[in-house]
Amino acid sequence: MAGFTDAPFRLLCRRFGADRTVTEMISAQAMVYKDQKTAVLAKIPSGDTRCAIQIFGHDPAVMGEAAAMLAAGDYAGASYVHPPRAIDINMGCPVRKIVTSGDGSALMQNPALCGQIVAAVHRALLPYGLPVTVKIRAGWDSTHINAVEVAAVCAENGAMEIAVHGRTRNQMYAPSSDNGIIRAVRRALPDSVSVIGNGDIRSGEDARRMLEETGCDGIMIGRETLGNPWIFSGVRAALAGEAYVHPTEDVLRRTAMELIEGIVSDKGEERGVRESRGRAAHFIRGMRGSSRMREQINRAQTLEELRSILEREGTD
């Protein structure tokens, strides 16, 4: 998730039970222009062993070139301790700035182009033995629900895994995600292509429902992770029929601080503290005194200030 799934956050998700992770989306165009600011997004730290790198764009040649750069590790500023698990293509982002450039979910309006992009990325990755995966939505709007068609074109052109968010572009993030379209994609594709169900999984019960209702091969969890990377342990416990105990507020605050330290270490104090404010807010949501804490966090300028806010509240 753009703005959230940086390396320190992905490591937390892995520690708390995620099988796999995906980077924030990276502009293929920016990569090909050798934009340095983007390179920090293509960082795979020690322990993030099954991380896919997601790219977005609409030009098959540019997407292929960016994929090859990532596979070869030929992108100045990018750094991997582990090679990427896959290169993932974003065909789901609904944000206006992205779709007006013809990127993200706008691609679903042109299934033939989706196929060309997947084919170009697949071809570029063949020498490296890396798979291409795709993230789609249900379709553009309620009169253009074409996830089955787009998924089939992607599969025919080499995608080995397709994640489906059961909303259209126009729905953005509400109302609720439709598991029916995920089931339809699963039924339409050969077994050799994995289908990952995504949308509104906030509990073990939601995860079980997604698996049962759709027959999908795996699940993807987005927003719930933001203040609750333990969701992965919760889902694992629920699926195994085991009890799950959510961490205490102390653990939540300490983990938020650990995340902030990681962000500051990667991005420097000024940018790191600025970016951490919203990130910490997700962890303290619902705690006693959280609105006062959030105000203090929003005013904090240094790592030490953030630490004293999160630790002070912990001793109340």
Report in angstroms how near the CB of residue 105 gets to ligand FMN at its nearest. 10
Report in angstroms how near the CB of residue 12 gets to ligand FMN at its nearest. 16
Report in angstroms how near the CB of residue 6 gets to ligand FMN at its nearest. 11
DSSP state of 58: S
Q: Name which of 184 and 303 has its Cβ closer to ligand FMN.
A: 184
**Structure-block tokens of residue 154:** 């992607």
Residue nearest to ligand FMN (CB): 222
Q: Is residue 93 annotated as part of the catalytic site, yes or no?
A: yes
Q: Name which of 84 and 199 has its Cβ closer to ligand FMN.
A: 199
Q: Name which of 136 and 252 has its Cβ closer to ligand FMN.
A: 136
Give the active site residue among 13, 51, 93, 154. 93
Alpha helices (H) along the chain: 7-15, 28-32, 60-72, 96-99, 111-125, 147-156, 179-188, 204-214, 231-240, 249-267, 269-284, 290-299, 303-314
Report in angstroms how near the CB of residue 57 gets to ligand FMN at its nearest. 13
Q: Name which of 2 and 39 has its Cβ closer to ligand FMN.
A: 2
Considering all CA atoms of the chain, what is the largest pairwise distance in Å, rounded to the nearest integer? 59
Report in angstroms how near the CB of residue 174 gets to ligand FMN at its nearest. 10
Contact (CB, 8 A) for 116 and 57 = no
**CA–CA dist 217, 201 (Å, integer):** 15
Which residues face 181 on adjacent strands?
Answer: none
Residues that bind ligand FMN (CB under 6 A): 1-3, 24-25, 54, 90, 92-93, 135, 165, 198-201, 221-224
Q: How far is CA 234 from CA 188, 230, 239, 256, in A?
A: 31, 6, 9, 18
Q: Name which of 234 and 309 has its Cβ closer to ligand FMN.
A: 234
Spatial CB neighbours of 206, under 8 Å, sequence gap ≥ 6: 200
Task: State how far Cα 173 lies from the chain centre.
Answer: 15
Q: Name which of 92 and 139 has its Cβ closer to ligand FMN.
A: 92
Task: Report which of 306, 316, 315 is spatially closest to residue 261, judged by C-alpha positions.
Answer: 306
**CA–CA dist 51, 11 (Å, integer):** 10
End-to-end CA distance of the chain: 33
Report in angstroms how near the CB of residue 307 gets to ligand FMN at its nearest. 26
Annotated catalytic residues are: 93
